[in-house]
Chain A
Amino acid sequence: MRLTRANLVLGAFLIGAVVIGGVLAPWLAHTDPVMDANLMNAETAPGREFWFGTDGQGRDVYSRVLYGARTSLTVGIVSQLINSVIGVTLGVSSGYWGGWWDDWVSGLTNMMLAIPSLIFALAIMAILSPGITSLLIALGLTNWSYSCRISRAATLSLKGQGFVQAAKMLGYGDVRIMLTQILPNILGPIIVIGTLGMGGAVLAEAALSFLGLGIRPPAPSWGSMLSNAREQITTAPWVAIFPGLAIFFTVLGLNLLGDGLRDLLDPQSKARV
């Protein structure tokens, strides 16, 4: 469908730009994002020397946005990876084995679903020392419930199917069946959830920075750059505009990509939206 293709192309383009920016940051950037803090240059407007201007400490915003791409991509990818691994492991196993394990996992999932994820992440960030590792732990541990639910539902419907029964009769072990028969079939929805979740993780990082619990300076992260710049809007708006645009286009790209992938892989999906 035209819309699917448009989504995929645009999403891939945006994300591609972000990935290239992040990966090639050391070559594309003009300065070191942390150490090159020359106070004499503080808050210069965008121009020939500093494409995106400089911030309050005299650091080049352009370079920091490029390096910030690494942080945001890391946050997005790793946290979603953790989410997916936990969610799929718990979901597939509980769907397949059932019994007390299923009860226990369902109870745990219910509990996790009852706490809004931002609040849970807030609580975890409060107890860990500030930094990117803590953020990854906080986001990774609080967002797996949805993929767990989906995996479990899919496993339940798959496990009665012919090919699974056949594998059982051939004497395959449970784990082997889960890995080789069930997992490949749920990969589609999981990838979609993961892609959409990455956008959520980037936004969550910004929200936690606003609340004072995100990644701390001087590490370049779009969320903390945006949050710390809100007081400089009247004197140096560029310090906030560029990280803000970066977040917007990245999350937009992830959302578009996720939409496109979902339409591509599973057009009948009831897990729409």
Chain B
Amino acid sequence: MWKKLVLAAAIVFAHGVQAQTPETPRKGGTIRFTAPYGASFGGMDIHATNLAQDEIWARAIHRALYKWDSALNKPVLELAKTVSVSSNGLVYTYQLRDDAFFHHGRRMTADDVIWSFNRIVEPGKSYPGARFVRAIKGAVEVEKGEAKTISGLRKINDFTIEMTLAQRIDPAYNFNLAVTAIYPADEAVKESFARKPIGLGPFKFAEYVPGSRIVMERFDKFYAKGKPHADKLVIYVMGDAAARDVAFRNKEVDVSVLGPAQYVAYRGDANLSKSILEVTENYTRYMGMNSSFKPFADKRVRQAVNHAIDADLIIKKMVYDKAYRASGWLPTTSSAFDKNLKPYSYDLALARKLLTEAGYPNGFEFEITASSNESWGSPIAEAFIPMLAKAGIKAKIVPVDGTVLGERVRKGDYQAYLWSNGSGPDPLAALKCFHSATPRSACNYTEFKSPAVDKILDDADRMGPGNPKRDEVLKQANALVYDEAPYWFFNYNKAVLAHQPWIKGLQRNANEMAWQNYEDIWVDASSPAAK
């Protein structure tokens, strides 16, 4: 009798323990990813192109000095073991990893790091990463051709480098993308590198079929022990959302980035809704109002616009809840996000009152320059134009091609425009767009000017990146900007990634959901590509 009880208890106990053990990553199998932002990749030299589409494959093969950690929501050291900062915050000394190997077998040294950064600012070429490397002292001179190497980068020994910055910023935010990846100095000069890239990442290059897919295999000498888990990683180029939907439902691919219409469909399906990953991305959608267009010069008019549009309804009905209502420029994932800040209320009467106070009792007319984007383009304008009409404001859409929108906005050739811009991850960098010293061509598109905001931003700059009080101060700046309403604040994008039940380890990357750290992902035995 006792024996039976003990046995029974032991069995129950064993089951309980098993249920509590977290899933251990399974080794092997193939991860089948999709790159949804176009019909091709821009070649195999990641320094040359900065499109979101290309970062998707580059993260598997290459590494940069830092890596984005989605759990912590900030960049962390990757190719260096430690870093020490000087007291003035301008000199960073990195102890590089001595266990990082390139795919062709050679160990990474300080020479590779220095060579890669110098290549990015090569004078004859216009590599997009130059905008990040420019933060290093001496880089600008190399860009202009006045110096041969970056003076601010100094090799102390094979595994130590000293980086002197030109301004006080946090280099982690500059050097975590593959456009600043570290290349092997000896191999990258060869012509074959453009077809067969060699990097420091968890997967090594196997095959590239332009316009179709890139196939990569596990690199066994990757420095993170036990990673990557999968044997193979295939990234398929699939630009058409409808076709991607079919492929996903047909279990031919493991992940699919969802647009608003599909989000509804997947949410409504009993099975598919269980494996959707959502995250608020660092992108704010808005309508910019040109301060040089007379009605918009008055803050009350701008606030009236914010009150006259029922943004929640549009988000619910048109974007199918695939966005979060904006309450300020900084998104919810920003470290300086203030959840106590209330969004503008939908109040027609208040809007009309503000308009009358500002001298427009009968409203006014304006033009909205917009692209055809379904989430932040003319469809959105079509939805709120009737709402504005109720407040007496008549609006008309000026349709433009997506590539032209940016040009017009940067030149100030608009009255109002609809766009989606990055608002993170660094809150200071995002809010600097509202500093009066920032030119319109950079990102102060409406030529916003507020001495109060300027002062706070300057203070924050002086505080330096490590200072915990900085976020508090930035919250105030964000609130001030919100009150001034240079924009109609629409929403923060909700990135949605549908995944098959057998793929685990996906991360909620607030910068871009399609950018994953593949070494953390694995497929369990139920995948059709589990071998």
A interface residues with partner B (beta carbon < 8 Å): 34-35, 37, 39-40, 42, 56-58, 129-131, 212, 216-218, 228, 230-235
Contacts and interface: CB of A to CB of B under 8 A. Distances in A.
Interface string B285-313: 00000000000000000000000000001
Contacts of B268: 235
Contacts of A230: 242
Given A39-B318, A235-B261, A217 B383 contact: no
17 contacts: A35-B386, A37-B382, A37-B386, A39-B314, A39-B317, A42-B317, A58-B317, A212-B372, A217-B382, A218-B378, A218-B382, A228-B374, A231-B242, A231-B245, A232-B261, A232-B265, A233-B242
Given A231-B262, A235-B265, A57 B382 contact: yes
A129 B370 CA distance: 12
Contacts of B261: 56, 231-232, 235
B245 A56 contact: no
A231 B259 contact: yes
Contacts, number: 57
A35 B394 CA distance: 13
A54 B121 CA distance: 53
A131 B399 contact: yes
B382 A129 contact: no
A217 B242 contact: no
A129 B261 CA distance: 27
Nearest to A234: B265
B400 interface: yes
Given A129-B401, A231-B242, A217 B372 contact: yes
A129 B400 contact: yes
Nearest to B310: A39
B379 A57 contact: yes
A130 B401 contact: yes
A80 B178 CA distance: 51
Nearest to B374: A228
Interface in B457-474: none
B378 A216 contact: yes
A39 B313 contact: yes
B169 interface: no
Most buried by A among B245, B317, B379: B317
A231 B401 CA distance: 22
Ordered nearest first, which 6 A-B pairs have the shortest CB separation?
A39-B317, A231-B261, A230-B242, A234-B265, A235-B265, A232-B261
B241 interface: yes
Contacts of B383: 37, 39, 57
A218 B380 CA distance: 11
Contacts of B443: none
A24 B220 CA distance: 71
Given A131-B399, A231-B241, 6 more contacts: A56-B261, A57-B318, A58-B317, A217-B372, A218-B378, A231-B242
Contacts of B401: 129-130
A167 to B, nearest CB: 52
Interface in B235-270: 241-242, 245, 259, 261-262, 264-265, 268
Contacts of A216: 372, 378, 399
Nearest to A239: B261
A31 to B, nearest CB: 13
Contacts of B374: 228
B407 to A, nearest CB: 13
A43 to B, nearest CB: 8
Nearest to B397: A218
Nearest to B316: A39
Contacts of B262: 231
Nearest to A34: B382
A131 B399 CA distance: 9
Nearest to A38: B386
Contacts of A131: 399
Contacts of A58: 317
Nearest to A229: B261
Interface string B263-282: 01100100000000000000
Contacts of A218: 378-379, 382
B131 to A, nearest CB: 28
A37 B317 CA distance: 11
Interface in B304-336: 313-314, 316-318
A42 B382 CA distance: 14
Contacts of A232: 261, 265
A2 to B, nearest CB: 42
B368 to A, nearest CB: 13
B372 A130 contact: yes
A234 B242 CA distance: 10
A40 B313 CA distance: 9
Contacts of B314: 39
Nearest to A131: B399
Interface string B383-415: 100100000000000011100000000000000
Which residue among A57, A216, A231 has the maximum number of chain B CB atoms within 10 Å of its CB? A231
A212 B371 CA distance: 11
A42 B383 CA distance: 11
A56 B318 contact: yes
B30 to A, nearest CB: 27
B370 to A, nearest CB: 10
A241 B28 CA distance: 44
B386 A130 contact: no
B258 to A, nearest CB: 10
Nearest to B387: A39
Interface string B358-382: 0000000000000010100011001
Of B261, B262, B268, B374, most buried by chain A (CB within 10 Å of CB) is B261
Contact of A42 (B242, B265, B318): B318
Contacts of B313: 39
Contacts of B379: 56-57, 217-218
